[in-house]
Structure 1
Amino acid sequence: MSEPTPLPVEPTYRVLLVEDDAADALLVEELLYDTGLRFELTSATTLAQARHELTHRQVDCILLDLHLPDLSGTNGVTTVRDLAPHTAVIVLTGLSEQQAGADAMAAGAQDYLVKGKVDADLLRRTVRYAVYRSHTERASAEAQAARLRAAENARLERGLLPQPMLDTSTVTVTTRYLPGREQALLGGDFLDVVEGDDGLLHAVVGDVSGHGPDAAALGVCLRIAWRSLVLGGHRGPDLLHLLERILVAERGPQFLFATCALLTLDQTGGTATVYLAGHDTPLITTAEGTREAAAAHGIALGIAPEVRSWPATVIPLPPTGALTLYTDGLTEGHSGATGGERLGVEGLLALIERLPPSDPGALIDLLIKETRARNAGRHTDDLAVLRLDWHGRPPTA
């Protein structure tokens, strides 16, 4: 025979009795003992004492007399609810004050009891129901607040994470963005894609050092500045110099720096021009597979502003292929669930080679899933991936 399911343990109700009449207070205490409820009783004779108790202890239920030396009537309910908005309030009224009980419920009390007409069974049911109702109201309020936060976060995400600005380009853009901090909307990584008036496609992927809101704010600042500067015609070292000036001005007392990769794709000419400011080299995908593109490296932004060393690399492109820019959140994880060596670029390329063919979005999602699985949940760094795919050169004018 199976063992019977144990009954749920009766909770211990933390009760605050606010009553200035000693005889009535003693009667309520005796009734509480008769209810069979598990309870911890604290007493107060004035609203000032009740305020002190509510400030220093958690309470599940307040039994409140409407006539106190320092407050009277339903104003007492309002005041107590302000002090403990998620605590059940049961009002105690006199025999001739039944309308006052209804008014108290309208003011926010969960229930009311008439002195002289209360027995142990009624008090037990009233306390249980009032506490249950109060908990339900609190859970509902928290759920509503969570829904509002989620809606606000969605609006912020639409505003802060960029939409590619593509007019005539036939290049397919695929992006993924994962902040490292739990429940964070944005991290210090940033990415963007813009088609300029020159018909060329301009892309950036960057990573601000550190974690937290300061890095995220600086990442957003650099991303917006990059888009504005590109649309204003700035390119290459001039663009990186201006981004570095903005970074230095905006980072404040913290020594934050940023790595980034700038890429200008000329599909008609079959080339991509790359500038690396302390950033990982892009990956190029051709019919033969995916490899790391050969590119010269420059110094990260904000490390030594006077250096300004960012050499250009022109990468010849196949008629059909892809370029992938990414931040080190994709490669800094461990290569196995038990730790060991970092995945690194070589491990990333080996992983890509083993993945089944798929469309760009599904491929990136699977790649992120696999790298995070190998890291055994130790993912703490932000992650940004931007992939550009093209299929055949457009006809020349």
Structure 2
Amino acid sequence: MTVSATAFPDIAPGGPVYRVLLIEDDEGDALLVEELLHDTGLRFELTTRTSLADSRADLTAAPFDCILLDLHLPDVSGTQAVTAVRSLAPHTAVIVLTGLSESQAGPDAMAAGAQDYLVKGTVEADLLRRTLSYAVYRSQTERAGAEAQAVRMRAEENARLERGLLPQPILDTSTVRVTSRYLPGRELALLGGDFLDVVECDDGLLRAVVGDVSGHGPDAAALGVCLRIAWRSLVLGGHRGPDLLHLMERILIAERGTHPLFATCALLTLDEKAGTATLHLAGHHEPLLTTPAGTVEVRAAHGIALGIAPDLCHWPATAIPLPDHGALTLYTDGLTEGHNGTVDGRLGVEGLLALIEQLPSADPAVHVDRLIKETHALNAGRHSDDLAVLRLDWGTG
């Protein structure tokens, strides 16, 4: 039986509408509770059930603000009734209804998770109004506190996990300015499969990597972290170019197990003194070169993605002459595969370059943030992919 607040025309409009579930097998007691709710002056929607079994569908289908629970039901009784209801509706206020002879039943029920208790035969409308209002308020406060704690824990976990994908660059004497951004594509995801890193090696050259593991979810994220850590260890150990990519591919194959994952990546070696950069592409797209004349896509030779054809091992090098001051931007396809503001069109590299031309000159970090914001605005949530951006600026000092 369900009774709506609109069934009582003398109740003044305004104020919250309390969604109440009454679980009571005694028809007379259920009628008294209904009349008392009417006398409280509260606006409410009442659903009445006679057993826990009959209530399960209601508890899982629609949220309630408060559950009025008789402790002696045909299928469950005592604190077990409270525990069962709380397991089905952990964020709903529970007020138990006890008998006059059950002096300890109320406190025991509260210890089991109920917000409050009322003794049948002694309840007046004013007491019910105060008890119900306070129980709902307390339950909502507890829920808000739990959600805030979950957000804090998630933020802490996010910070710990993102250190695996966004490590601190190792820069000793280099004057190159490093700007990096990372955003997982899935809503509420902590990590995605993209990765990036920058280190200055003992030879004084700056080396960088940006990569993208196929797929989404924890397997892709774990493999991305693994490849990022492997890259840093191998490059600091002196491995370069095709040799470095071959070892990364071996690690990928060993770590992916039975999952058909592969990875694209771009390796960059920047020699600021010589004014050159060396690029190796493993299934990845070219970076962008920004000079005083504007931003263009670098023309470079391509090699195959890691894990696609392990025996091929073909990753040609491309030498890039650099101006006295400028920037190289490496990124994953989350920046270009989104929509361009139309129904079916994708942004692509041409759209990205056109967008960059429209952006005012700004600090590199501000520029990258503005670029990501604008691409997301054009996409309007229609395409979801992980995103990693690494910008290296030199000659600005």
CA distance in 2, matches of 1:375, 1:87: 38
Report the AA paired with residue 28 of structure 1.
D
Alignment-derived partner of residue 287 in structure 1: 292
SS in 1 for 2:31: helix
Q: Conserved in 2, the CA contact under 8 Å of 1:208 and 1:258?
A: yes
Aligned to 1:47: none
Greater displacement, 55-64 / 227-236: 55-64
Q: Deviations over 1:251-277 (max 9, x none)?
A: 233322211110111122222111111
Residues 203-229 of structure 1: CA deviation (Å, up to 9, x unaligned): 001112222222222211111111111
Q: Confirm whether residue 199 of structure 1 aligns to residue 204 of structure 2.
A: yes
Structure-2 change in CA distance of 1:85 and 1:284 (3 Å):
closer
Cα separation, 1, equivalents of 2:180 and 2:67:
52
Name which of 30, 42, 48 aligns with 1:41: 48
Aligned-partner Cα distance in 1 for 2:48–2:245: 68
CA gap 1:12/1:286 in 2 versus in 1, 3 angstroms: closer
- Paired position in structure 1 for 2:232: 227
> What corresponds to 2:118 in structure 1?
113
Q: Which amino acid aligns with 2:32?
A: L
1:120 Cα deviation (Å)?
4.6
Question: Structure 1, residues 105-146: CA drift from partner, whole Å, max 9, x if none?
Answer: 455432222333224553454344434433432333223222
Change (3 A) 1:355 1:104: closer
The residue that corresponds to 1:188 in the other structure is 193
Which residue does the alignment assign to 1:297? 302
Unpaired runs of at least 5, structure 1 = 20-24, 45-49
The answer (yes or no) to whether the contact 1:173–1:387 under 8 Å persists in 2 is yes
| Structure 1 counterpart of 2:248 | 243
Secondary structure of 2:50 counterpart: strand
Aligned partners of 2:165 and 2:228 also within 8 Å: no
Q: Distance in 1 between matches of 2:339 and 2:30?
A: 62
- TM-aligned CA distance change 1:113 to 1:155, over 3 Å: same
Normalising by structure 2, report the TM-score.
0.84
CA distance in 1, matches of 2:242, 2:355: 34
Per the alignment, in what secondary structure is the counterpart of residue 333 of structure 1? coil
**2:23 maps to 1:16:** yes
8 Å CA contact 1:165–1:195 kept in 2: the answer is: yes
Aligned pairs, number: 375
Say which SS state the counterpart of residue 147 (structure 2) adopts.
helix
Map of 2:259 onto structure 1 = 254
* Whole-angstrom CA distance in 2 between matches of 1:240 and 1:69: 65
Q: CA shift at 1:290, angstroms?
A: 2.0
1:386 Cα shift?
A: 0.8
How many angstroms apart in 2 are the aligned matches of 1:13 and 1:256? 50
CA 1:344–1:69: 2 relative to 1, 3 Å: closer
The answer as to whether partners of 1:204 and 1:260 remain within 8 angstroms in 2 is yes
Is 1:350 aligned to residue 354 of structure 2?
Answer: yes
2:141 corresponds to which of 136, 142, 162: 136
Residue aligned with 1:273, SS: strand
Q: How does 1:369-380 map to 2 (within 5 A)?
A: 369-380=373-384
Task: Give TM-score, length-normalised by structure 1.
Answer: 0.84
Q: Secondary structure at the match of 2:302?
A: coil
CA distance in 1, matches of 2:114, 2:244: 63
How far apart, CA to CA, are the structure 1 residues paired with 2:330 and 2:381? Answer: 23
Aligned partners of 1:81 and 1:87 also within 8 Å = yes
The CA RMSD measured in Å over matched residues stands at 2.9
Going from structure 1 to structure 2, the CA distance change for 1:26 and 1:381 (only over 3 Å counts) comes to closer
Larger radius of gyration: 1
